Each structure stands twice: as C-alpha cells, then as structure tokens.
Structure 1
Amino acid sequence: MRAAPGPIRLVNLTLGYDRRPAVHHLEGEIAPGATLAVCGPNGAGKSTLLKALAGLLPPLGGRIERPDATARDIAYLPQLLEVDRSFPINVRDFVAMGAMRRIGLFGRLDAAERARTGEALERVGLSGMEDRPIDTLSGGQMQRVLFARLIVQDQRVILLDEPFGAIDEATTQDLLGLIAHWRGEGRTIVAVLHELDLARRAFPETLLLARERIAWGETRGALCAENLARARAMSEAFDRQARECLRDEEAEHAH
C-alpha cells in the first residue's frame, strides 16, 4: 500500500438528487490518515456524502478536492441492504473481485492474488467458507465477506456506509479490530455510523451532519448534548419541498 494521499477538501459542497439538495454548503478537510465518523439523524445526508466522496455522485455545487488521489485510490463499502446477493457467486470469487483494479475486468487470478484472497478470508474469520454461495450467508457473515473484499482491494482511502448495522456483537468487535489495524497503517477511514457509542469508542474525529455541518472535530466534543439537539432540530425543520438547487454556472447566469 502506498502512503495515504493528501487531505480531501470539501469546498462549499452541495449534494442532492434530482436537483433537490440533501447536503448544503459543506466545508471541511479530511486529513491523511484520519479516522472519521459521520453521524447525524436519519435523512441527514450521511450516505449521500459518502457516495460523493466515492465519486458516485456529482456535486450540485462546490467541489471535492482530492490532491494526489483519484477514485481509484478509494475502497467503498455500501450499506449491506444495497448489496445484491441474488447473483450466483461463491464467497471466494466475490472477495476476489477486490483485485479487479489490479488485474482488469477479464484478468485471471494468479497465485499471489489467490493467496491474498485466502488471507483476507482468514483475517475476517471465514476460512473454510470459500465455496459457500453468498445468498446462504447471515448478515454478519456477509459483512465479513465485504470487509475481506476491502482487504483485497488494499486502498489508501476506505469509505464505510453503516458497517455495523444489523450485525451481531462478535462481528462488530472483529470488524472494529480490523478498522483499528487500518488506522495503525495510516489509511484514511470515513464511516457513516448510527451507533454513537461506537463513534465515541473507536473514531477520534466526527462530523455531525444534519444536511449541513453541525460540528466537526474531536468526537466527544462534536457529539455533545447541545450539538445532538441542534442536529435533531435541523433535521425536523428540513423543508422537503425546497426549490431545486442551481448549479454554480447557472447561479452565475441568474445574477
């Protein structure tokens, strides 16, 4: 793994769908090697922000600056419910898909890549399950498989969307251990979390989001009672009928 890239900067960033804003005028910087939790009420724009960081959602306004980095340097873990488990593929082949950027879409796995896949499955506690179809796995097992694929990807920036949702405590602890290992390697980790206790325990920095930045900094301070109450109030006051956002160039012409 190469060293972590330079900081990721959010500059007056506005995000949304169908021109309807979901995140407004967000400013901030994710330092190299940061371990950042993104917290906030339901509908606060957390997953939307993660998709934009992954390069899957273009901004409505502002920009994301990634010095020395591209989308190829990013490993993205979607919410478990977004993973299509109906495709007929076994655990080994699913995890090996993490090597696609190195070997190409139609490349063959060599001995080194096969060994990397086996080691990843061992690290997440799934040795011996290589031939199991993914549609037979429990939620916790599937989340371990997704983390194994991240290991195979071996990227400098890791984005995790609700990695601990609907999984058992043993799996949570094992995956927290893996995140701690990545943190020790100096990787940049950004995770959307609903579990505030986990944010306080394992993530030194937190962005509290309620469609705009409520707080961003040391986790205990960011998640203080006053900030959490403000985030709830902001979320409840959100106007779902708000007018469409103009893109930057349209706004300039409007003036």
Structure 2
Amino acid sequence: MGADRLGRGPAVTKGTIRLDDAGVVLNGTPVWRHVTGSFAPGSMTAIAGANGAGKSTLLRAILGEVPLASGTITRAGLSQRDFGYLPQARAIDRAFPISVTDMVLSGAWRQTGAFGGADRQVRLRAASALRRVNLDGQAERMIDALSAGQFQRLMFARLLMSDARIIMLDEPFTALDAPTTQDLLELVREWHAQGRTIIAVLHDIHQIRTCFPHVVLLSAGRAMWGETTRILTPDTLHAAYAPTQAGGAAWS
C-alpha cells in the first residue's frame, strides 16, 4: 500500500492536494493507476469520465476512505476537519428520522463537537443557511418529506455550516431541475470566490466547460489533468466515453 503523506513535503504549497503516481485496486481490479496531479488552493476542478472510470473512488481516496495500492497523496497542511464532503444522493439514508433544522445543525460539528449542543449563534447560522438555499419555510419538516431538489438544497445548507476549506461534491446536480441546479451552482461559485478549493464529480460536459476552469478526465485507468479547454477536446472525449462498459470495473 502506498504511503499517505500529510503535507510534510516542503515543496508543496500549504493547502495543496497532490497525487504522485497514485493507484487504487478494489477487489483485485485496478480502478486507476499512475495518477499524478495537483489541486491548488482555491482551485475549481471537475472530475469527469464514463461510468466505471473511478470518479467517486478518486474523491474517497483523497478523503482517506479508500487506501492507495501505489503512490502517495499529499494534503499539505490540511486535516480531516478542513474537508466538506457531499456524497451521491443515493448514498444518503433519507429514512432516518431527523428534521431539516437538525440535519443542517449536524454540519456544525466542528463548532459544537460530535455530541455538543447548538447555541443561539449556531442556530442563527443554520437559519441563515436554510434561507440561502431557499428552504427557510421547511425548517420543521422531516427530511423524508422533502422532494429530491429540496433535499439536495438541504445538503448544501449543511455544507455551508461546515465552513470547510475544501468542498468535495459527488454528482451534486444529478436528477435536479434547472432552477435548483442554477441556484446550487451559484453557491459553488460563491465558495470558489471565497478562496475555497472545489472538487466536483460531474457528468455534464457543457457545465464543466462553462463553469470549471480545471478538469481531471479519467479514462482507461489513467487521468488527463489540466485546464478544461486543453483537456476536453473531441479526441479525448471520444476516447473517454465511446468505449462500451462491458466487462469494465463497476466503480463510479
């Protein structure tokens, strides 16, 4: 298993996330390998690729949830508390009996602790976060009563409470209507303008081209990494998306 260095390399700028010759193997099958590249502090990067390319696995490897089979990941000067993570909607149990307000408050664990109570200031921040995502009228509802779009707005409000330096989003706009997508994308732009690092798994190539200056394109177990205009060419997109998924790895 490759080493997982926590930012001790002097040549890496504080706040940088760097992969050096990194590879992941799940259930004996290589997902991707020889991946090298950096997420600079304050950058905004999309992760693209066909189903099964290992996009979500890349996010989870950065978070330390998936071990490397080779290479290293350096998180220069960063701790786990600096990361805010939004998993795919299908990975979240919406049947759990919790109200909208309590779900938002759970995003403030950095301030309250895992079992701490929320004081008036934290509750005011939660109310402000709900207003920011247009859910201020839903505060007392249970989360299982929300529509898909309302629930995703709620998860963005929860991320607002975390005040994380690194925002990691896994398919944040999938199955959302256009108004909800635009509202949440505007919030992502605000985070970027504040100097936060944004890393998002996305499927919409037009959205990536118009909103994300940098991209990691996963294809055939490798990564093409750089400026979006340079990486997303007709040839690279054909190579990444044209092959069939038959017999491929079942990782997204």
User: Common fold, TM-score beyond 0.5?
Assistant: yes
Q: 2:179 aligns with which of 165, 170, 175?
A: 170
How has the CA–CA distance of structure 1 residues 115 and 139 changed in structure 2, closer, same or farther, with 3 Å as cutoff?
same
Q: Deviations over 1:70-99 (max 9, x none)?
A: 221100000011110011001000011001
Q: What is the percent sequence identity of the aligned residues?
A: 46
Structure 2: distance between partners of 1:126 and 1:211: 41
Q: What does 1:87-106 correspond to in 2, within 5 Å?
A: 87-106=96-115
Q: Which runs of 5+ in 2 are unaligned?
A: 1-12
Structure 2: distance between partners of 1:189 and 1:128: 29
Q: What does 1:65-214 correspond to in 2, within 5 Å?
A: 65-214=74-223
Q: Match for residue 241 of structure 2?
A: 232
How has the CA–CA distance of structure 1 residues 240 and 147 changed in structure 2, closer, same or farther, with 3 Å as cutoff?
closer
Contact kept, 8 Å, 2:52 with 2:248, in 1: the verdict is no
Q: Match for residue 9 of structure 2?
A: none
Structure 2: distance between partners of 1:5 and 1:175: 28
Q: In the alignment, does 2:8 pair up with 1:17?
A: no
What's the RMSD between the two structures over aligned residues? 1.8
| TM-score normalized with structure 2 length | 0.89
Structure 2: distance between partners of 1:46 and 1:211: 12
How has the CA–CA distance of structure 1 residues 238 and 232 changed in structure 2, closer, same or farther, with 3 Å as cutoff?
farther
Contact kept, 8 Å, 2:94 with 2:144, in 1: the verdict is yes
Structure 2: distance between partners of 1:129 and 1:96: 14
How has the CA–CA distance of structure 1 residues 5 and 128 changed in structure 2, closer, same or farther, with 3 Å as cutoff?
farther
Q: Match for residue 232 of structure 2?
A: 223
Q: Deviations over 1:133-186 (max 9, x none)?
A: 101111110100000000000000000000010011100000110011011001
Q: Match for residue 7 of structure 1?
A: 16
One-letter amino acid of the counterpart of residue 107, structure 2 = G
Contact kept, 8 Å, 2:32 with 2:221, in 1: the verdict is yes
Name the stretch that deviates more: 231-240 or 107-116.
231-240
Structure 2: distance between partners of 1:192 and 1:37: 6
| TM-score normalized with structure 1 length | 0.88
Q: What does 1:45-60 correspond to in 2, within 5 Å?
A: 45-60=54-69
Name the stretch that deviates more: 55-64 or 67-76.
55-64
Q: How many residues matched?
A: 238
